[in-house]
Structure 1
Amino acid sequence: MEVPRAKAAYKKKDGIITLTTDRASLIWSPGNGTGPPVVSLAVANITNLQKTPDSSAKVMLKVFEKPRTAEGDPLPYLFQFTSSDDPRAEANAIKDILSSILAETRGGDPSLPKPKQGDANGAAGASASMSMASTANAKPPAVRWFDDDVLKKDYELQQSLLKKDASLNQMYTDARSTKPESISDATFNAQFWSTRVGLLRAHAIELNQKKGTYNVLSTIKPRTDNGELKLNLVKEQVQMIFHQHPLVKRIYNENVPKLNESDFWSRFFLSRLSKKLKGERVSENESADPLFDKYSEADNTVGFNSRIMASQVPHIIDLEANEENQGGFKSGNRKDVEMRPRANVPIVKTLNSLSEKIMADVAPTDTDPSAADAADGLDDNVYNELALRDLQADAENAGIALSVREQNRFLQSHQTKAQSEEEFFYAKQVPADVLFDVQGDMETLDDDGTGGIDLHKGIGVDPDSDSEQETGAVKKPAHVGSRAARKLADDQIFEGLARKRAEIYGLDSDDLSPMSIPPEIAQRCFITNATTAEFLKQFWGAFMSGDPSRMQELAYHFDSLKRSAERITALAEEAEMVRIALDNKRKQEIKEHFRATKKKLRYVPRGGGKNAVMALFEPSLAGLRSAQAVYESAAARR
């Protein structure tokens, strides 16, 4: 085969791209290609090929070369084909010969690009702008989800997750901007995503989830607008109708385009056949459509091989076998009216057939009964799935009873002390004096006029009293039962409830301004804390690995921890400046209000300053101090 040669631009300079005579290197030379090559790539070092799809106006080929270092990124080389004749054919020729050489030398590697086999569109999978030549031989999605290495190297999946999760994107950006310059981007990405493989896997599964089939006819509701039938029918619904109801597809092929497509669907949803396929009752008064109602709904189920009937059904759930053993229709209770076979209501066969078609597209999650050993009957797993547990007896308690000898001895001293104090108190009481005091208190209680006791007057409650004290009056202690005492009790109760609720559920203001920290400062605190936690993870990952080759990396992480502590301190200082500014503003407002009204306002010092930020970061600071102490101790022992 002749070596292809094409006009291509590299870094906006025109030139010639071709292969050497031994097909060992891909070269690009500027101008007419007679000079020495500026770009020379060994074919053995090419890891991937990407070409723009045929729908793109520009024809470009991107070649990836192996990284120079073990932790580096692949080096891309982008060539734009500029031939005036047929640049796309020239690009395909270059890509096909490279793919063929790679397939011959390393044919067993599924990650390598393969040459296309008569497909003008190249590989099947393509991104928005580039078509991956190796997509056809990539791992299936189900395998890719469970491969941690593939997820950590999937750049497009990582970018998709960052676009979806704003907080994660902010954390990634801040951590990348503060990383040491000696750590490459590839190393940083590997460390960042190594602790978030679960997020990548969940996002990959979410992207590949698809909506399953459903009873599409029951979801389409025709409506009448000014005497005209309106239908909202999309292409996917039409395809699903054809899949679930082969009879409708056959009628469609026989009558369209002789009949207008919109008229076809309008008449179908008004026909008796549509109701029968839905499993609805058809009355004799409904008018028949000559096109659709001449077909029998039984034709919709003919030729459909039931997977349930074709498979082996265990006898304990085989209803038809039980019915045959008991005499079928000749004995037992009479069937419900909806389950009796009738000519005008084929609900049983219709719905069963539709359910089987829908379930045929669903991957089974239970054990296949036919896989059980025929000699042994049902195995334990199948029987446990089919057993009717609600008819079984209660399971025996498998717990172990704990018996503690002489357990009263552990509480004997405390109980003896409490009982002795209580007995000593009552032993000092004189029964006659106690009875005299009780009788005297009973005589002082007021009568309510009906032979009972007025408890409000007995404890001194006066509903007409004024709780406000006069100006200059001597403050008296609140009388039990007075309005002031009751209000104080209410305040204490509601304050306790609010405090308990805040401890359990948190305050509403805690989400935006914890500990009275301004919302903008609080948001930066959240991001700084997440970044600090990320650096701590990287430090402990390198420290606990025990790899001597990572000592230099560990030193960089130690510097990052020191800078994290400095960022927290700087943030606390900024919060203190904001608090002082707000305090000064509040004091000025109080002064202006006093000048205008001669009334004093209460000044409440504002929180949320340096002390609040440092208290909020106390766990993170403790983690930083612990990590720094461990590193310094290990460095001192070396």
Structure 2
Amino acid sequence: MILLPGEAIKHSSKTSYKKTEGTLYFTNKRLAWCKLEEQTPTVEILHAHVHTPKVNTSADKTILKVVASTPGSNGEPVEANAPMFVWKQADREAANAERTKFVTELSILSTRRAQAASAQHSSGARPTTQGASAPDAEYGKVKIGAVPASADEIKLRQEVLAKNRDLAKVHKTLVIPGLVPEDEFWSTRRNILETYAIQSQLRKGEASSWLYLSHTIQESGNFKYTITPNVARRIFKEYPQVKRAYVENVPHAVGEKEFWKRFVASQFFNRGRTTDAYKGRDKIFDKCVDEEDAVFRDTGRFDVAFLTRLLDLTRTEEDSVETGNAPDFTMRPSTVDKKLPLIRRFNQHSQLVLQTVLNNKRRQLAEHDVVDKTLEEATLLRDLDALVPEKKVRLSIHDRTQYFASVSKNVPSTGRPLDPDERHAALEIGFDISRPLDGCGNTQRTMQALSQATHRRALQRRPNRIQELQIPEDINGAVAECHGAGTEMLRHLWALLRLPQTLARKEKADKIVAAFDGVVRHIRETIAKAKTMETKHPNLGSMVESMLQPTVESLRAGKVSFEAKMKNVQVA
């Protein structure tokens, strides 16, 4: 096959297409099929056009069907024209292994396509309010569970599979081979789709972290700041004066790069720091300093209507624990002037973080009923309230010997009931159980020995639950995949066996039982791989085998039950 510039072949295999022998190639750019002794591809599918690979489950043939989009289909897959490739080797295991190489590569492309579509969809241009990301309107009115599924629900399913690798593996095991229909697979997972649809509607607010511009020192000794559009937007929110200066001066007065250079070198940006890093005066940002000082000096900007009358910040003449009757030294102007810009920054940042919450609460506090109720609850003294007579009558028993009347009835006729003093002596404990035992030796050592013995006994009885299993990541993933595939297949099989048998259900159950062999083969491969790693991980093979043996036995029991029922039940 003639390769494109920069193209390299990853996999190649002898296959037939439309009963014509040829070779199937998978490269880093496309999937191509060429006839024997020809160099020009008859079938060519670029990576960007691949949607879903599908395989058959019958044992007589090994088929791969590639659903892809065409240049004129607006990115939508055309399954009717999907090419089908057949492996005709006599050794079916070798043919399945060859097909698996292509299915794995195509599945990766399908997952990347879904992730790219999700990222493109989430980063699309949408109007935002106050810097918060707008909700995803596409999934707001999706009707989940409709048959057939809508285009929006299909997109939602693809995004869920792209973000949930375990679910994607189960989908690949059940749906792609045709064991379970697509709609039936998602019918039991509607909660996952609904949860994702709700999460896609949630608006992501602004980050509440403190804006800190870090710098790098170049070889010349100069500082270098990197200001991205996101950083610039946060600067505009933290410093409204800078936003106003940017609008007034960029780009007609100064360039954007020069504006940010002057900003990081200005007194407005560097005041409040330990060292004065600004260079001279700047008419743009010195104006920002004056505007900010004027805003903070204006006491009229505080809306005292929202301050509770229980708190009076103007009263500072009373005695305090720290200073006694002496004047308060904590707010002297000479010591606060240098720290005042930093204090203002913290206060302004806190105000921005709490702004959305305070807006709602302030509307509630503005109501007079709420204010009056708050003051009434704060100044109400329960001890001064008039006593209200209780409506309930307390139980009072004068003859308390009747407490043990029921006990005396159970005493044998030949015995004598105990009097209160004898009963008290019989129930009396001779030591204080709330204190350490005296005269019993080292009780702490005894308790430690008992705890260790109990722990050892528990380890001997339940080793799989208590001991920490050191399993490599790839083996652990393979075990989870075997468990997931076996559990899902058995769940569908048992559901089919409990229903009245029809021809369609029997065919579906036949496919599921035939797929058991693939799961068992995967389990054996996982156990064999684990045994080869026992040099680094002792007893790993036996450990993995004990973990997967219940799945093997469950698959065997399901197959036996299916065969027994098929013998005794007539298919309608």
Structure number with the bigger relative contact order (C-alpha 8 A, sep ≥ 6) is: 2
TM-score calculated relative to the size of structure 2: 0.46
TM-score calculated relative to the size of structure 1: 0.42
Larger Rg: 1
